[in-house]
Amino acid sequence: MLSAADIATLWLTFKVASLATLIMLLLGTPLAWWLARTRSRFKGICNALVALPLVLPPTVLGFYLLVMLGPKGPIGQLTNELGLGTLPFTFPGLVVASVFYSLPFVVQPLQTSFAAIGRQPLEAAATLRAGPLDTFFNVVLPLTKPGFMTAAILGFAHTVGEFGVVLMVGGNIPDRTRVVSVQIYNHVEALEYDQAHWLAGCLLLFSFTVLLVLYSALKTHPVAHQLK
């Protein structure tokens, strides 16, 4: 069965994933919009940078984040100067690392759905004198709802499932940075396979349900085919 420590890790995981998803949607929306519209020569570089976590082994990404955010790294020195302390081994550090790690899962579906709208609806809105914000909330948002759903759900689910990055940047510290995937690792290391199975079962059920709901919802939505 799940112990109190296991449940604490589930709760911490939920908090990290929710906060990271929120930040990724806020950062990812303008970024995806720009990537979908721009003809800048930096588009390729930006696309590659965003997609990097898909390819890099998580421990490599985790190590670089650890060095960059640590007291000797450029970002760590900046946060120290600002009186924030350094980020690794703290809850905010976990959130920042998760944002980097899961960002492609948010940006890519958004970028695809922004590109799928085409120019006509935006030009039509402009001829009706709709401002950019008005256009975004009343034209773009309703047309790209499935894209946002996919982005939010994949971003959240991927953050819940991450291991290598959070182990490196978080340090497996009880109550502070020990998320559910790290707790499973602890159980396996202690050869407590029963407890590991319970937690892993929860994750499996969660991931399957999330994906099932996502794909069922997308199937019934009229714009869904544009995403394929």
Q: Which residues bind to another protein, rule: CB under 8 A?
A: 15, 63, 66-67, 70-73, 76, 80, 83-86, 88-92, 95, 167-168, 171-175, 178, 185-186, 188-191
Looking at the Cβ atoms of 146 and 170, the one nearer to another protein is 170
Closer CB to another protein, 34 or 185, in the complex: 185
Nearest to 17 by CA among 214, 141, 184, 203: 203
In whole angstroms, the minimum distance from the beta carbon of 90 to another protein comes to: 6
What is the rounded distance in angstroms from the CA atom of residue 106 to the CA atom of residue 99? 10
What's the min distance (Å) between Cβ of 20 and another protein? 12
Write 120-123 long-range contacts (CB < 8 A, 24+): none
Given the complex with another protein, which of 30 and 174 has the nearer CB atom?
Answer: 174
**Rounded-to-integer distance, Cα 137 and Cα 144, Å:** 10
Joined tokens for residue 180: 């559910």
Largest CA distance in the chain: 66
Is the CB of 161 or the CB of 171 nearer to another protein? 171
Q: In this complex, which beta carbon is closest to another protein, that of residue 25 or of residue 67? A: 67
CB of 141 to another protein, least distance (A): 29
* Shortest Å distance, C-beta 186 to another protein: 5
In angstroms, the CA 49 to CA 1 distance is 42
Burial of residue 41 (number of CB atoms within 10 Å: 0-12, 13-18, 19+): exposed
Compute the least distance from the CB of residue 170 to another protein, in Å. 9
Of 145, 85, 87, 84, nearest in space to 114 by CA:
145
